[in-house]
Amino acid sequence: MSQSDNLESYPPFFRPNHDIDSSENACKTSVNSDSDSDCLPVIDFLCMNPENLSQVCRDCGMFRLVNHGVPLNLLNQLQDHAKKLFSLTFEAKQDLFSSSSSSSSCCSPIAYFWGTPALTPSGDALKKGSGTQDHNWLEGLNVSLTQVSQFQYEDPLLESFRSLLEEYGRQQCRVAKTLFSTMAHDLKLCSTKSQSYLSLPTGILRVYRYFRCMDSHKRWGIDVHTDSSVISILHQDEVQGLQVFKDNQWLDVKSIHNTLIVNVGDMAQAMSDDKYLSVKHRVKVNKEKERISIGYFVFPADDAVIECSKYKPFTYADFRTEVQKDLKTLGFKIGLQKFKSTQENT
């Protein structure tokens, strides 16, 4: 596979001189003051306990994880492979991930998307002809960890990447399991709920590349959102872009070598009866540099019923259905608010 050293690796819509709306109102979001200092509390994975984890989940909803045990060499290799794959021409990437042949009969575990944060089909908002606020300045790979070990690619680079993703998935499962076990202890969840509320087979990886953008003050890599997961774990390269909404302002999350970023998702907030915070966050784009990040997202079992005082009983399958419906009809996610109990809404 040959690499592209220019913007041919970008989907055509994101290349310079494309006729897009660049007015001051395009994709405009109100911004409070940003901070140059790192705003996240730090949790040492080796010294973690229910008390210190509980505090950051309740106060901030996002923290930096150190001494996590994920090999640095694995993190570096993943970033290098992702950069090589994303640098292929757009057409080559479409062909590669739509027709990746294999000796296995199962579907490819890696799907290519662009223009959306993998919540809707690639380029969907663009095809509808709606405004620039409906797309994100990114492309990515959505990886099913349940399938990744059952597949083998003929392309050497892609097969090497698949193998690295498989190992990284195992590492993330280990970290997520320990984190949630500590959360469950803090929340005093019974063993049955602890087992169904975090289902490791639901784990997925998303590998994102955020494009360079001359109108970086008007565009977003991913706009404001909360994650639908129980736990999300992010590894980012040296280019900053992630922001978290904390203390009523948007704060920059520093890129610090060999650390992971963990945030509480919607499902953990519901499981905690709103004691934990599913934190709002977003991703800026950069004028001069691309940014690559790798996110791990894990969910409850589809049939696990989440029960607490502030929400009507619901399953993650119920939640996912409502999210997809809202995205199609409204263009955005309402999320947990749709499941608030009658008492909470009155």
Q: What pLDDT shows up at residue 218?
A: 80
Alpha carbons 300 and 322: distance in angstroms, whole number? 16
Alpha carbons 339 and 314: distance in angstroms, whole number? 8
The answer to whether residue 70 scores a pLDDT higher than 90 is yes
Q: What pLDDT shows up at residue 211?
A: 94
Determine contact, residues 266/227, Cβ cutoff 8 Å.
yes
Q: What pLDDT shows up at residue 331?
A: 81
Average pLDDT taken over every residue of the chain: 87
The answer to whether residue 23 scores a pLDDT higher than 60 is no
CA-based end-to-end distance of the chain: 59
Determine contact, residues 178/262, Cβ cutoff 8 Å.
no
pLDDT, average across residues 315-335: 92
User: Could you tell me the pLDDT band of residue 104, with boundaries at 50, 70 and 90?
Assistant: low
Q: What is the pLDDT of residues 214-258, one digit of tens each?
A: 887 888 999 999 999 999 999 999 999 999 999 999 999 999 999
Alpha carbons 178 and 67: distance in angstroms, whole number? 13
The answer to whether residue 330 scores a pLDDT higher than 50 is yes
What is the enclosing helix (H) or strand (E) of 79? helix 72-86
- Give me the amino acid identity at 269: Q
The answer to whether residue 268 scores a pLDDT higher than 90 is yes
Q: What pLDDT shows up at residue 32?
A: 45
**pTM, entire model:** 0.89
Beta-bridge mates of residue 44: 66
The residue among 72 and 192 whose pLDDT is bigger is 72
The residue among 331 and 300 whose pLDDT is bigger is 300
Backbone torsions φ then ψ of 221, nearest 5 degrees: -65, -55
Q: What is the pLDDT of residues 283-324, one digit of tens each?
A: 999 999 999 999 999 999 999 999 999 999 999 999 999 999
pLDDT, average across residues 54-74: 97
SS3 62: strand
Q: What pLDDT shows up at residue 105?
A: 54
Determine contact, residues 263/253, Cβ cutoff 8 Å.
no
Task: Spell out the domains of the chain, with CATH numbers in brackets.
Answer: 32-305 (2.60.120.330)
Secondary structure of 207-249 as H, E, C letters:
EEEECECCCCCCCEEEEEECCCCCEEEEEECCCCCEEEEECCE
The answer to whether residue 260 scores a pLDDT higher than 70 is yes
SS3 339: helix
Phi-psi region of 27 (alpha: psi -120 to 50; beta: other; left: phi over 0): left
Task: For residue 52, count CB atoms less than 10 angstroms from its CB and return exposed for 0-12, middle for 13-18, buried for 19 or more.
Answer: middle
Q: What is the pLDDT of residues 117-168, one digit of tens each?
A: 665 444 444 444 444 445 789 999 999 999 998 889 989 999 999 999 999 9
Alpha carbons 185 and 50: distance in angstroms, whole number? 6
DSSP category for residue 301: -
Q: What is the pLDDT of residues 164-181, one digit of tens each?
A: 999 999 999 999 999 999
Q: What pLDDT shows up at residue 107?
A: 79
pLDDT, average across residues 91-118: 77
- The H-assigned helical ranges of 14-71 are 50-59
Which among 288, 290, 231 has a CA at the least distance from the CA of 260?
231
Q: Angle at the Cα of 225 (from 300 to 210), degrees rounded to 5?
A: 105
Identify the sign of the CA torsion 309, 232, 175, 47: negative
The residue among 262 and 2 whose pLDDT is bigger is 262
pLDDT, average across residues 45-54: 97
Alpha carbons 269 and 57: distance in angstroms, whole number? 9
Which span out of 22-26, 101-105, 187-191 was modeled with the highest average pLDDT?
Answer: 187-191
The answer to whether residue 97 scores a pLDDT higher than 60 is yes
Q: What pLDDT shows up at residue 233?
A: 98
Strands 110-114 and 138-144: antiparallel
Q: What pLDDT shows up at residue 255?
A: 94
